Amino acid sequence: MAIAIVIASFILASCQSTPKNNTIDKKADNTPKVLIELLADTDNDGVPDDLDQCPATPRNMVTDERGCPFTMPGIGLKMEYRAFFAKGSSELTSKYHVELDKVAARMKEYDIAIFKIEAHASEDEINKRLPSLPKNRALMVKNYLLLKHNIEPSRLTPLNCEARAPIAPNDTDEGRSFNRRVYGLLTEPDNEYPINLKNGICVKF
C-alpha cells in the first residue's frame, strides 16, 4: 500500500512539471512599429520637393544639394544648333523646327541656360548689299523660341556675324550654301563663349 502511494505521488509530480504548450501566438506580437512618413520627391533625385530648386530634373542625372544637375565647366548643359538658309532668304524651314524644339525643352529643364544665336551670310549675299540678312535669320530663330515656347528674351542673345566667319570656301555654290547659316549654342551663363565673339567677328544686337 505504501509503495502504491509513493508511485502515485511520483506520477503526479511528473505531470505538474511537464512543460505547457509552447506554441507562439502570432497575433500577440507586440513589437513596436515606427511609422516613417516619406517626404515627396517627384523627380526622384534624392532631394525633397520642398528643398528642390530644379523640380523637373531628368532621371539618372547627378544632382547637387539643391537638386539641380551637377555640371562641370563646358559640359552638361551645352547643346548646339544649326540651320541653313536659301540664298537671299531668312525663312526658317520646318525641318529645322524639331531641333529648335529640343533646344526649347532643354531651356525649360534648366532655367539658368542661355542661348546664343550666331547668324551668318555667304560672301555674295553681303556683296549684294544684304547686310540685314544675317540679323533677320537670327531673329527668325529667336522669335520661334519666343512665340512658340515662351522663352524669356533675356535668355536669347542674337549675334550678327555677316560673312566674317565662313566655314567653307565662298568660291563654290556648295561652300556658299554652308555659310548661309545660324549656329546656336546653349550654355550656362558663365561659360566661356567661342572665339568669334571675343575677336569681334560677331556683334550683339
Q: Are strands 156-160 and 203-204 parallel, antiparallel or unpaired?
A: antiparallel
DSSP annotation string for 12-63: HHHHHHSPPP----GGG---------PPP-TT-SSS-TTT-SSTTPPTT--B
**Hey, what CATH topology would domain 79-204 get?**
60s Ribosomal Protein L30; Chain: A; (3.30.1330)
pLDDT in the model for residue 103 = 96
Per-residue pLDDT of the chain (205 residues; tens, 9 = 90+): 444 444 444 444 444 544 445 554 555 555 545 444 556 888 787 777 777 778 877 776 666 556 776 555 545 678 889 999 999 999 999 999 999 999 999 999 888 899 999 999 999 998 887 778 999 999 999 999 999 999 999 999 999 999 999 999 999 999 999 999 999 999 888 665 554 555 678 889 8
**Domain boundaries, given as residue ranges, for the chain:** 46-72, 79-204
pTM: 0.62
